[in-house]
Structure 1
Amino acid sequence: MSIIIPTRRFDESLAARIASHRGLFPEAEIIVVEPSDLPPLDEQPLVATVGVQRLRAPRGRGTQCNAGAARATGSLLLFLHDDTALPTAAPEVVEDAFADPKTQVACFRLRFDHPHWLLASYAYFSRVDSTLTSFGDQGILIRRAFFANIGGFPDWPLFEDVDLLSRARQRIRGRIKKLPAAVTTSAVRFLENGILRQQLLNAELMLRFSLGASPESLRRRYEGRRGSAPSAGGDP
């Protein structure tokens, strides 16, 4: 398996999270893709990068994910946000799901790292697949050949995951398989902007996307409402 992580910057917190991924999947190839407009690698603070491939690509999550996929050699790709932790059951549920040759793509369920009933409610629906409940922050597992066949991600800064999963559903003529284990992702955007306010913004963006708004205009709207603290790289 190749684990592909788009990020804004490789830092010590990401290095620690990668060590956890490595503990679960010791044979996995790990590829971190940073924006090409960052300073040269030798000017950045030293981080633990043993066994990790570091790439540069034009900024944007879809573009960075595609760059990682182009370098990957694994037959199974896992696209993972850099603020997301894998569950301890990940090796077993992934092996069980992809032992079936008919399984081409799957996602984990979702959990947030902050206890709040609204966040728990949002996360609950991630066990069901739909365009409103399946996103990249759940981790996207996809066979490399199938990823290539459907054309990979669009080079978009936002909703690239929605587009990829939509094309995957069309090709398999069914729903995306949901694995019986949950990744844990950061709730920082919800806490900075207000949980209900952030979810309403997400719904607004999704509606505008479905009506044909450009991903770039939606990115500007999204970025304009984010808090001032740096966010983990779900959003390169």
Structure 2
Amino acid sequence: MVSIIIPCYNEANYIEATLKQCFSQIGDFEIIVVDGGSTDYTTKIVENYPSVVLISSIKGRSNQLNKGAETSKGSILLFLHADTLLPPKAIVSISKAFKNEQVVGGSFYLEFDKYHVLLFLYSMLSKINHSFFTYGDHGIFISKQVFSEIGGFKNVSFMEDAEIQKSARKKGKFVKLNLGVETSVRRFEKSGYYKQFFQDMLIAILFKLGVDTEKLKRYYPDHS
């Protein structure tokens, strides 16, 4: 079974569409929403879906993702952002990938809900199976056994998605599926397309150079 784990904080504008897309999937899965103390209607929306496991956590993506993993029943963990829609047959494709015993995890590539030339480039780069081009909004999945072996997500406020890949990719094969998740362009619309694009590239480069994640977080504020 695949456990879909969705961390949330004030995601009332997006969570319902994400849940509906999850429920449209074929295959064996469960949905776990981990709320970080939302002050809007996020939890009330989730409560309209009785089969969704809703749990509370201290705000912070690493904390929320780890708590969701602790609650999960599946042998595969899929970490999904609240504003990101899974492609059709996502669960089937993940399950198929794990038929290769060398596979320990992987991700989808990234698509956006609006077109811009920079976002098209962003999407093309996200098809490259390398940690530099793979992040949490791509829909990272990992076997629960490997997740446990590497100690889950590090207790950091930022770049937890890149940190976990350091360990997971050493354990076996990390795959990039030929399917795209669709995410919101809200960060780009708020900050400006060019500014956000080059800021993301700079953050990725600085992270690879070893700059502390707490310093990098100042340049990547929360959505809400």
Q: Corresponding residue for 2:179?
A: 181
- Going from structure 1 to structure 2, the CA distance change for 1:133 and 1:2 (only over 3 Å counts) comes to same
Deviations 1:29-71 (A, max 9, x none): 1111111x446x9x96455232111111121111110010011
Question: Offset of 1:4 from its aligned partner?
Answer: 0.2
Give the 3-state SS of the residue equivalent to 1:66 in structure 2. Answer: helix
Give the 3-state SS of the residue equivalent to 2:103 in structure 1. Answer: coil
Deviations 1:107-138 (A, max 9, x none): 01111111112101111121112232011111
CA distance in structure 2 between the partners assigned to 1:68 and 1:51 by the alignment: 15
Q: Corresponding residue for 1:158?
A: 158
**Range that drifts further, 12-21 or 83-92:** 12-21
Q: Corresponding residue for 2:7?
A: 6
TM-score by length of 1: 0.85
Name the aligned partner's letter for residue 219 of structure 1.
K
The alignment covers a number of residue pairs equal to 222
Q: Corresponding residue for 2:197?
A: 199
Give runs of aligned pairs for residues 40-55 of structure 1, distance below 5 A.
45=44, 47=46, 48-55=48-55
Name the aligned partner's letter for residue 210 of structure 1.
K
Q: Is the 8 A contact 2:104 2:171 kept in 1?
A: no
Q: Report % sequence identity.
A: 33
- State the superposition RMSD in angstroms: 2.3
Structure 1 segments unaligned to the other structure (5+ residues): 232-236
Q: Is the 8 A contact 1:65 1:153 kept in 2?
A: yes
Question: Offset of 1:203 from its aligned partner?
Answer: 2.1
Q: Corresponding residue for 1:168?
A: 168
Q: Corresponding residue for 2:208?
A: 210
Question: Offset of 1:151 from its aligned partner?
Answer: 1.3
CA distance in structure 1 between the partners assigned to 2:169 and 2:43 by the alignment: 40
Question: Offset of 1:27 from its aligned partner?
Answer: 3.6
Give runs of aligned pairs for residues 7-156 of structure 1, distance below 5 A.
7-9=8-10, 11=12, 13-25=14-26, 27-35=28-36, 37-38=37-38, 45=44, 47=46, 48-156=48-156
- Going from structure 1 to structure 2, the CA distance change for 1:46 and 1:147 (only over 3 Å counts) comes to closer
Question: Offset of 1:96 from its aligned partner?
Answer: 2.1
Structure 2 segments unaligned to the other structure (5+ residues): none
